[in-house]
């Protein structure tokens, strides 16, 4: 299994994501932001960091980068994409997942572990059931997910909400931490699963989402 990890100027978590992919037994492939060809990878991770220095607003410039043409095509044929932190911001700016990310309600950078409650069973969360919890670290300033009430209700009805914060750290509407696109093959969250893959650092719960990415890649339509 080959997992592409996008590298942007200003990104700081692409190497961590590649390390996590390798720990999961897959082959990490670096994807440069200026190259639209994804090289036939099976799955894509858009990692955290501060792409293009967060100029304009987080994710806005990265969403216009050439690599996103390849990511759109990849997602369009049903292959999985996981956006993490800045990757969530990029995917909302690109219109690949719903909502927007605003500054945290505290207007402060938050960096600590968060407890996430599983909203429903999903291929993204193999082996886990509704009501189970994951502990994964977060580190962001603009992680307050927002959508209007009608859109939130629609997402809830369609099962596009995967995870909620047990204690809301950033003001996200409905304590929502992870959403998918309507088709379910693109998921995004602000906490960092790639930082929760080794017991030495306190949790291996991030492996659940990464395994979900690999599982979805295994059953997706051919590229």
Catalytic positions: 85, 192, 194
List, in order, residues 6 or more apart from 119 with CB less than 8 Å away.
130, 161, 162, 163, 164
Pairing of strands 144-146, 81-84: unpaired
As to burial, measured by CB atoms within 10 angstroms (0-12 exposed, 13-18 middle, 19+ buried), residue 56 is exposed
Phi-psi bin for 88: left (phi > 0), alpha (psi -120 to 50), beta?
A: alpha
Q: Which two tokens stand for residue 164?
A: 């909620």
* Residue from 43, 47, 35, 41 nearest 6 by CA: 47
Q: Which residues of 15-30 are buried (b: 16+ CB within 10 A; e: fewer)?
A: ebbbbbbebbebebbe
Within 10 A of 75 (CB to CB), how many other CB atoms are there?
Answer: 21
Contact criterion met (CB below 8 Å) for 7 and 51: no
């Amino acid at each position: 299994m080959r997992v592409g990890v996008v590298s942007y100027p200003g990104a700081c978590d692409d190497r961590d994501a590649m390390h996590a992919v390798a720990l999961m037994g897959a082959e990490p492939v670096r994807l440069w932001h200026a190259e639209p060809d994804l090289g036939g990878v099976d799955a894509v991770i858009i990692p955290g960091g501060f792409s293009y220095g967060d100029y304009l607003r987080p994710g806005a410039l990265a969403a216009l980068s050439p690599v996103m043409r390849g990511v759109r095509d990849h997602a369009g044929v049903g292959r999985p994409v996981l956006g993490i932190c800045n990757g969530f911001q990029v995917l909302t700016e690109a219109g690949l997942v719903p909502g927007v990310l605003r500054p945290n309600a505290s207007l402060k950078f938050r960096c600590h572990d968060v407890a996430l409650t599983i909203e429903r069973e999903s291929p993204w969360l193999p082996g886990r059931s509704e009501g189970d919890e994951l502990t994964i670290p977060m580190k962001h300033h603009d992680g307050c997910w927002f959508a209007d009430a009608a859109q939130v209700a629609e997402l809830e009805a369609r099962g596009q909400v995967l995870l909620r914060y047990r204690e809301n750290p950033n003001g996200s509407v409905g304590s929502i931490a992870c959403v998918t696109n309507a088709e379910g093959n693109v998921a995004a969250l602000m906490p960092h699963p790639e930082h929760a893959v080794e017991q030495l650092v306190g949790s291996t719960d991030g492996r659940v989402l990464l395994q979900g990415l690999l599982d979805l890649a295994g059953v997706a339509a051919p590229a």
